[in-house]
Amino acid sequence: MIVCVDTNIVRDLAERRVPDAQFFEAAIRKNVQSGRLAIAPSLAVLYELLRSPDADFERRIGNAQFYDSVVDWRRALKPSDEIIKDDIATFIKSGCPSVPFRGISDQESGFIRAIRNGTDVFPETVSTRVYEETCHQNDMFVKTLVKEFKVEVGETNCQELRDGPDEAWRRWWTPGSVADELAWSLIPELAPSGLSPLSLPSLRTLVGYLLRTWHQMICSGKKVRPTDHYDCRIAVQAASVGRILTHDKRLLKIIGNIPGLTMKMWSVKEFVSYLK
């Protein structure tokens, strides 16, 4: 069984932030060592662990080392945008999604070796570039939701959402409605094929994440968080695997409200009980 885990699960176990963390860790390691379980690593999670603003260097590198010790680098996940791109290309040819994994040689990767050696993974120039790129990506995510997304959804749909949020949400996912239109606008190259892009779990999750975040902004006044673009990427990766461990209630709520998405989601406690 292959699963992915998000950043908060790693930190909860590595930093012992939840009751019985040591017991949960032992159960997961036992299943990994037996070959029953494989944890697919995501560089997005690793970067987030190494950039945690509320942790000092020792804790950040310790969390990254913990992550490295339980994951299977042979099943490293592609970046979310690459998963979607490959899914579309494979879908047009075969009607199926692509394989989301692209193995990494942990012995040859200087990045992974640096983590294992406990050295500074990011030189100052690289750290600055990663920080600036992260800010740019978040700005683009916010721009998509706050500005461009409003054009795609339209003021009529926004007003319907304010008047009846649950009913509007169900209607948005009917054939030919808002979800379909948004998917076609994101992936116009699928239009000539006549294929429905929402049948791809990765694209369905991307559309659902955008729609649900917009839904929460209109109905609950929730703002886009600085980490939302990370969560969106991890959600897409998780959809391609079909299983995720997370303690992020907002992420669970967003994913859980996407109609037609069959993805298993567990807390670490629920997952360890499931493994028994």
pLDDT in tens, 190-221: 666 666 788 899 999 989 998 888 787 777 77
**Whether 74 contacts 103, CB under 8 Å:** yes
pLDDT, tens digit (0-9, with 9 covering 90-100), for 163-199:
888 888 888 898 888 888 878 877 776 666 666 788 8
Across 26-30, 130-134, 156-160, 222-226, least confident range: 130-134
Q: How far apart are CA 140 and CA 91, in angstroms?
A: 27
Kindly state the tokens that stand for 44. 């997005």
Confidence of residue 152 (pLDDT cuts 50, 70, 90): low
- Provide the pLDDT for residue 43: 87
How do 2-5 and 243-245 pair as beta strands? parallel
Please give the distance of CA 266 from its chain centroid, rounded to a whole number.
14
pLDDT, tens digit (0-9, with 9 covering 90-100), for 55-103:
888 999 999 999 999 999 999 999 888 998 899 889 888 888 999 999 9
What is residue 3's three-state secondary structure? Answer: strand
- Provide the pLDDT for residue 214: 79
- Provide the pLDDT for residue 126: 62
- Between 130 and 102, the more confident residue is 102
For residue 95, the 8-state DSSP code is S
Q: How many domains does one find in the chain?
A: 1
Q: How close are the terminal C-alpha atoms of the chain, in Å?
A: 14
- Provide the pLDDT for residue 138: 65
Range of the domain at 40: 2-275
Say which residue the tokens 């680098």 belong to.
73
Confidence of residue 122 (pLDDT cuts 50, 70, 90): low
Q: How far apart are CA 74 and CA 17, in angstroms?
A: 29
Q: How far apart are CA 1 and CA 34, in angstroms?
A: 12
**pLDDT of 157 strictly over 80:** no
- Provide the pLDDT for residue 153: 63
Confidence of residue 127 (pLDDT cuts 50, 70, 90): low
Say which residue the tokens 């190259």 belong to.
189
How do 2-5 and 38-39 pair as beta strands? parallel
pLDDT, tens digit (0-9, with 9 covering 90-100), for 214-259:
787 777 777 777 678 788 889 999 999 999 999 999 899 899 999 9
